[in-house]
Amino acid sequence: MDSGEHVRAVLREPALQGLWAAAREALASPKQPPTFRLELPDETARQAVGELYGRPMWGQGTRISVSKLDEAMRARFGTGLAEALQAEAAGPSETAESGPEEVLRAALDAQGLADEPWAQPWIAWVLRYGRVAADELPVVARRSARVLAAMNLHGMPRIWTSRGELAGLTGDPHLLDDGTTTSRVVIKAASLAHEQAAPSNDRERRALWERCGVAPDGVADTTLTWALPLSGNDPWSAGIRQRTELGLPAHLTHLDLRAAPPRLVEPDTAIAICQHPRVLEAAIREGIRHPMLCLSGPPTTATRALLGRLISDGATLHHHADFDWHGISAAHAVQQFGAEPWRMTATDYRNAVDQAAADRIDLSNLVGTPVPTPWDPALAELMSTAARAVEEEQLLPQLLADLREGL
C-alpha cells in the first residue's frame, strides 16, 4: 500500500470519523481555531485517535490541537491535515459531475453497504421523499453511511451503543436527534433493512433504534445486579465490588458498561437471572452472594448489553420468571443469549399451584395470549389448562435455597 492509499484508508477508518469531521469543521471556520473539542464515545475511538495523535486518550472527550494533528499527519504520511482532507473531499463521490444517485451510492460503497438489498430502495426514497437539499446531500450521504455501517442491520443486536455515542462517530453528538435530516434518512434505511414499516411515532422509533442495537441514551436504561464477581483490578470493578461489601445492588447503565474492562467475569461463572426485584432483595437481606441480575420486566437495552458481555466471557446464565405469559416472553428473550431455564418446567409449575392450594393462597387468573415453551412444551399446555399465574415471590424459599447451594 503506497502512502496515498494509506492516507485514504486512515481517512475512512470508522473509529476516526469523529476526528475527521471535527477537523473539517475547525478548518472551515472563518476564525480557524487552534484547537477543537472531540468526543471519544468508546475505547476503540480513544485507541485509534491516540495512536494517530501520539498520546493516550482518556475519558469521553478531549481537545485536539490543529497544528499538532497536522504535524502527526506529516510525520506519518508525508502530507498535511488540510491537504489530506481536501483530497478525500474531492473524491469521486462528491465531484461536480456526480449526480445525486451517484453521491448516495458512493457514500454507501465507501462503507461496504452499496450491495445491501435495502440500498437501492433507500437511495430512491432519499431522492424522492428525503427532503435533502442538493448542497447538503454529499455531507448527509457520507454521515448517514458511516452511522449505518456502525448499526446492526441484520438479525438481533449483540452489541449496544447509545444514540449520542453513535452520532459522535461523525463528530456531532446531536446528529441523530429526532427531527434532524440525518436521523430521518438513517431510520428509513433501518426500516428497509429490517423489512418493516417506517415508524410513525416515538414508541415505534425507539423500538426500531433498539432493533438496530441503539439505545436512546446512555443513562436511562439500567440493569439491576447483585454480587457480580468482577475479575478486574481496575477502579470500576473495585467500585462495584465495594457496593457488594456494603450490601448494596448496582444499577448499571450503558455508560457504566462502556467504562467497564473488556472482561467482566471468569469463564463458567454462574449467574442467576430473576424477574422480580423481590427475589434479588431477599438474597441481599439474607446475605446470599450468588451473582444475580433482575429483569423487572422485559429486558432493557442495558440488560441485553450486559447479557451479551457475560456470555462472551463464558458465564453460564440461569433464568427464572413469573409463571405468566409476560414471564414466559421474558424467558424467550434471555434464552436468545444462551440462558438456561431455572425451575421453569411443567413439574415446577404444577408443584407451585398445588402448594398454593394447600396454603390457601389465591392465585391470579392467567390472562393474555399463550406463549410456547420449547424447553418444556408441557409447561405452556399445563399453564393454559390450569389458567393460574404464579409469581416468583411464591417460590422464594426454593429459589433462595438454590442460590445458597450455588445453582
Helix (H), strand (E), coil (C) string for 292-358:
EEECCCCCCHHHHHHHHHHHHCCCEEEECCCECHHHHHHHHHHHCCCCEECCCCHHHHHHHHHHHHH
Same domain, 375 and 262: yes
Average pLDDT, the chain: 89
C-alpha cell at 6: 494509506
Query: What number of other Cβ atoms are within 10 A of residue 89's Cβ?
Result: 16
pLDDT for 4? 62
Q: How confident is the model at residue 37 (pLDDT cuts 50, 70, 90)?
A: confident
Q: What are phi and psi of 58, to 5 degrees?
A: -130, 155
Same domain, 122 and 186: yes
Overall pTM surpassing 0.85 (yes/no) = no
Same domain, 58 and 151: no
Query: What number of other Cβ atoms are within 10 A of residue 179's Cβ?
Result: 6
Measured in residues, the chain has a length of: 407
Q: Is 198 exposed, middle or buried (0-12, 13-18, 19+ CB in 10 A)?
A: middle
Q: What is the CATH number of the domain that holds 263?
A: 3.40.1360
| Residue owning grid cell 437495552 | 301
Share of the chain above pLDDT 90, in %: 63
Same domain, 123 and 60: no
CA distance 297 to 281: 16
pLDDT for 88? 63
Same domain, 228 and 368: yes
Same domain, 227 and 357: yes
Where is the domain boundary, 89, 118, 151?
Answer: 89
Whether the predicted pLDDT of 93 surpasses 70: no
When pLDDT is averaged across residues 320-347 and rounded to a whole number, the result is 95
Domain around 66: 3-89
pLDDT for 168? 80
pLDDT digits (tens, 9 = 90+) for 351-381: 999 999 999 999 999 999 999 999 999 999 9
Whether the predicted pLDDT of 101 surpasses 60: yes
Q: How confident is the model at residue 327 (pLDDT cuts 50, 70, 90)?
A: very high
Q: Number of structural domains, the chain?
A: 3
Q: How confident is the model at residue 75 (pLDDT cuts 50, 70, 90)?
A: confident
Same domain, 119 and 211: yes
Rounded to 10°, the helix 43-53/17-28 angle is 60
Share of the chain above pLDDT 70, in %: 96
Same domain, 262 and 331: yes
Same domain, 363 and 241: yes
**Do residues 227 and 290 touch, judged by C-beta distance below 8 A?**
yes
Same domain, 324 and 272: yes
- What DSSP assignment string belongs to 224-282? EEE-------SHHHHHHHHHHHTT--EEEEHHHHHHS-S--S-TT-EEEEES-HHHHHH
- What DSSP assignment string belongs to 202-232? HHHHHHHHHHTTEES-SSS-EEEEE------
pLDDT digits (tens, 9 = 90+) for 128-155: 999 998 888 999 999 999 999 999 999 8
Higher pLDDT, 205 or 40: 205
Q: How far is CA 125 from CA 130, 133, 189, 204, 327, in A?
A: 6, 14, 9, 20, 40
Same domain, 39 and 99: no
Q: What are phi and psi of 318, to 5 degrees?
A: -125, 120
Q: Which residues of 341-376 are buried (b: 16+ CB within 10 A; e: fewer)?
A: bbbbbbebbeebbeeeeeeeeebeebeeeebebeeb
**Do residues 176 and 217 touch, judged by C-beta distance below 8 A?**
no
Beta-bridge mates of residue 54: none
Sign of CA dihedral 307, 310, 311, 317: negative
Where is the domain boundary, 70, 89, 108?
Answer: 89
**Do residues 57 and 21 touch, judged by C-beta distance below 8 A?**
no
Cβ neighbours of residue 12 under 8 Å, at least 6 residues apart?
Answer: 110
Same domain, 250 and 363: yes
